[in-house]
Amino acid sequence: MKPVIRLHSRTAVLVDENIDTDRIIPARFLTTTERNGLGKLCFHDWRYQPDGSDNPAFPLNQPQARGCAILVAGRNFGCGSSREHAPWALLDYGIHAVLCSEIADIFRNNALKNGLLAIMVSEAEHRWLLEHPGIELSIDVRDEYIALPDGGRIAFQLEPFARHCLLNGVDQLGYLLQHADAITTYEKSLEKAA
Amino acid sequence: MTAKTLFEKIWETHVVAAETEATPAILYVDLHLVHEVTSPQAFSELRERGLKLRRPDRMLATLDHSTPTLPAAANGERPYANDEAKAQVAQLETNCREFGIELHGWDSADRGIVHVIGPELGATQPGMTIVCGDSHTSTHGAFGALAFGIGTTEVGHVMATQCLLQRKAKTLAIHVDGKLPDGVGAKDLILHIIGSIGVDGGTGHVIEYRGAAIEALSMDERMTVCNMSIEAGARAGLIAPDDVTFDWLKGRPHAPSGAAWDEAVMHWRALRTDDGAGFDREVRINAAEVKPTVTYGTHPGMAIAMDAPVPAARNVQERRALDYMRSEAGKPMQGTPVDVVFVGSCTNSRLSDLREAASVLNGRHVASGVRMLVVPGSEAVRRDAEREGLHHVFTNAGAEWRVPGCSMCIAMNGDLAQPGQLVVSTSNRNFEGRQGKGARTVLASPATAAASAIAGRIADPREYLTQEQAA
Residue in chain A nearest B230 by alpha carbon: A80
Distance CA B192, CA A22 (A): 23
Nearest CA-CA partner of B113 in B449, B409, B387 = B409
* Alpha carbon distance A146, B464 (integer Å): 59
Listed by number, the residues of chain B in 238-297 with a beta carbon closer than 8 Å to a beta carbon of chain A are none
Indicate the class that CATH gives domain B294-470.
Answer: alpha beta
Mutate to test the interface with A, among B15, B21, B30, B37 (most CBs of A within 10 A): B37
B contact test, residue of A28, A175, A186 with most B CBs within 10 A = A28
Q: How far apart are the first and last CA of chain A?
A: 39
**pLDDT band at residue B394 using 50, 70 and 90 as cut-offs:** very high
- Altogether, the residues listed in chain A come to a count of 194
CATH number of B170-241+266-288: 3.40.1060.10
**Residues B332-343, mean pLDDT to the nearest whole number:** 98
Residues 16-45 of chain A with CB under 8 A from chain B are: 16-18, 20, 22-23, 26-28, 30-35, 45
Hey, do B6-166 and B294-470 end up sharing a CATH topology, with the first three levels equal?
A: yes
- Please report the residues numbered 83 through 112 in chain A whose beta carbons come closer than 8 angstroms to any beta carbon of chain B: 83-84, 87, 102, 104-106, 109-110
Q: With an 8 Å Cβ cutoff, is B149 touching chain A?
A: yes
Three-state secondary-structure class, residue B236: strand
Q: How confident is the model at residue B206 (pLDDT cuts 50, 70, 90)?
A: very high
Cβ B28–A186 below 8 Å, yes or no? Answer: yes
**Residue B39, Cα to own-chain centre: how many angstroms?**
19
How do residues B398-435 score in pLDDT, each as one tens digit?
Answer: 999 999 999 999 999 999 999 999 999 999 999 999 99
- Predicted pLDDT of residue B471: 44
**What are B102-137's pLDDT values in tens digits?**
999 999 999 999 999 999 999 999 999 999 999 999
Q: DSSP 3-state assignment of B391?
A: helix
The yes or no reply on domain B6-166 and CATH 3.30.499.10 is: yes
The CA–CA distances, whole Å, from B231 to A163, B293, B385 equal 28, 15, 28
Q: Is B133 helix (H, G, I), strand (E, B) or coil?
A: coil
Q: Are B131 and B137 in contact (CB under 8 A)?
A: yes
The answer to whether the Cβ–Cβ distance between A176 and B163 falls below 8 Å is: yes
Is ipTM > 0.85 here?
yes
Integer Cα distance of B155 and B289 in angstroms: 41
Contact call for B134 and A84, based on CB within 8 A: no
State whether residue B334 is helix, strand or coil: coil
Give me the pLDDT at residue B469, please: 54
Mean pLDDT (whole number) for B270-299: 98
Q: Which residue ranges form the domains of chain A, and what is each CATH number?
A: 6-193 (3.20.19.10)
User: Do B344 and B427 meet the contact criterion of CB atoms below 8 Å apart?
Assistant: yes
Instruction: Specify whether the CB–CB gap between B372 and B360 falls below 8 A.
Output: no
At residue B467, does pLDDT exceed 80? no
Closest-CA residue in chain A for B19? A161
Task: Categorize the per-residue pLDDT at A193 as very low, low, confident or very high, splitting at 50, 70 and 90.
Answer: confident
Cα distances (angstroms) measured from residue B291 to each of A10, A69, B199, B224, B226: 48, 46, 19, 16, 19
pLDDT at B90: 98
Where do the structural domains in chain B lie, given as residue ranges? 6-166, 170-241+266-288, 294-470
Q: Residue B466: which pLDDT band, with cuts at 50, 70 and 90?
A: low
Q: Give chain A's radius of gyration (CA, Å).
A: 19
Residue range A159-169, pLDDT digits in tens: 999 999 999 99
Residue B470 is which amino acid? A
> Which of B87, B157, B411 is the closest to A173 by Cβ?
B157
Spell out where B30-109 has E strands.
Answer: 31-34, 59-62, 102-104
pLDDT, one tens digit per residue, over A69-128 is 999 999 999 999 999 999 999 999 999 999 999 999 999 999 999 999 999 999 999 999
Distance separating alpha carbons of residues B39 and B366, to the nearest angstrom = 39
Strands (E) in B214-256, as ranges, are 236-238
Note whether B178 and B286 are within 8 A (CB).
yes
